[in-house]
Amino acid sequence: MEASFYSVHKKMQSECKLAPRECIPPPSKGSLYIRPLLVGSGPVLGLTPAPEYTFLVYASPVGNYFKAGTGPLNLYVEVEFHRATCGGAGGVKSITNYAPVYKAISRAKERGFSDVLYLDSENKRYVEEVSSCNIFILKVEERHVQIEDVTDADEVFCTGTAVGVVPVGSITYKSKRYAKP
């Protein structure tokens, strides 16, 4: 695929963000779901790369994904089934990523859990992801943090009871601005 695909993708996602306000649920009630979709097309039917691709960005207002809304999740760690395996297609976002979770998530929900946390298929001890989303783990360690730890960090955010979670866009230290993604 040509490099221009990425610039088109970025432009289309930006335009989706311009959706009319009435299409966007209020905070804590849902969000505007934006999903890029690339579909192989063209006059071919078989196990071969498509000669053409159709690219679109799907946008739709959605309610909270989990029954608990934005409340805490009750995750079940799955040890029998795996969402992605070595040599599989787990590194690519495709429909094949979701089929392996149906049995495990059905069992977890029958037991009262919100979702399933998957471990790696090889060692069965390293956290991979949750059925429906990524998982981020913060291990809080109380220590003196040097300013270089902050300026060299990949991502910085602030949090507090009234603040929620707010990303830091930049930090200026000794007249030098450190931009954060």
Query: Contact 69/40 with Cβ under 8 angstroms?
Result: no
Of 85, 35, 90, nearest to 61 (Cα)? 35
Rg (CA), the chain: 21
How many C-beta atoms lie closer than 10 Å to residue 103's C-beta? Answer: 13
Q: CA-to-CA distance for 17 and 38, rounded, in angstroms?
A: 19
Catalytic residue at 29? no
Q: Across the strands, what pairs with 61?
A: 32
The residue from 11, 93, 103, 124 that is catalytic is: 93
- DSSP label of 109: H
List, by residue number, the catalytic residues: 93
